[in-house]
Chain A
């Protein structure tokens, strides 16, 4: 196929996206080329504004366009219950299930010593601070049900033990080894309902 630097540049950019190979990237690039100017401008704007306008919520560290985020500002939600998740996608998955009426905390990952991820690389200290500061009475540890997620939950529960809050771990209605973000909402709901207290 004949090509030119501007096309190559866009193809190279598309290829950085997940699941996009050379063929799809090329197809997308030619599709963009055929789009009306205004639509292309809109797309380019949306992409470049995304990074500027999305920030981390100062309370829960979810991605939001204003901080505190909508969930953290919602008076109807129970601020005494915090559900701790690894990533924003996990929070979204639990929200979709509609089975949780408390607030959240996004750790930004799980302990993974082999990847050099220790407590300082995720937000363990910030979570501790949040629990100490607020009127929190229950912390639900909804990290992924795999070895790293389990270890993270138990590490956090040890750190929070002096805070005298109820600590619980999501139940294994969650498929073992699965990623939270891929679980269906019925499963997510059930695993929250059946959470069990950590000793």
Chain B
């Protein structure tokens, strides 16, 4: 394999040397791919301003040399997500997802899995462009992203014994074990997070919901707070590294939106 032409989403862009740019791409065929775009900062003729965060591209990548990074030879813009560039909340949410994928998406693997990951991220960016950036959207997208990356919390059955965990109005959740715990197992466990059954059910619904119908999700008020807590703790534990973009996202989504003029 010398060169390929593929769709790609830009996950990260880092200036390199005096005029080059290193780009982390997500591709539907090979997962995460690190490439170098020679001269990308100095000459815009070759790439014509396509190499920007969130951009959906068709790229030509050359694997020529056995060692070193693959070279990005050409890029054509398929779609850009303008709202993510001009709305700080959407930008923050988009960056957070990109970082999650940049850290966790595998470099190659089963083709169907790679395709699914790519499609997920593309749909998620579209959703961010359309829906109001809110704590609700964040929680939902975070859950879905973790699920897509193979980190899905167990919301229905006890992670210890496999029995149904939802027999009471309040259910315990064990972050490290990654799921709900039934009333029989709970007394023997420590570090449990207690949530309402309705919260777990809402999250379950959130896992199945089509992105075009995110507004249908019945979650708000106390159960949103609970869900947010749960997902955020789950993410921190299972991702294992602190996501740098989280601080900005926290800050932006807490800020009341300025009235539209």
Q: Which residues from chain A sit less than 8 Å from chain B, CB to CB? A: 18-19, 111-116, 118-119, 145-148, 150-151, 154-155, 158, 161, 175-179, 182, 199
Contact = CB atoms under 8 A, between A and B. Distances in A.
B1 interface: no
Residue among A18, A151, A179 with the most chain B CB within 10 A?
A: A151
B258 A161 contact: yes
Given A115-B244, A147-B85, 6 more contacts: A111-B88, A113-B92, A114-B245, A151-B91, A177-B50, A199-B261
Given A175-B49, A176-B52, A113 B248 contact: yes
A111 B248 contact: yes
Interface string B154-170: 00000000000000000
A150 B49 contact: no
Given A111-B91, A113-B249, A154-B87, A177 B52 contact: yes
A116 to B, nearest CB: 4
Given A19-B17, A19-B18, A113-B99, A151 B249 contact: no
Interface string B164-195: 00000000000000000000000000000000
A116 B84 CA distance: 18
A151 B85 contact: yes
B44 A114 contact: no
Contacts of B236: none
B41 A182 contact: yes
Contact of A114 (B41, B87, B95): B95
Contact of B54 (A18, A147, A177): A147
Contact of B244 (A113, A148, A182): A113
B98 interface: yes
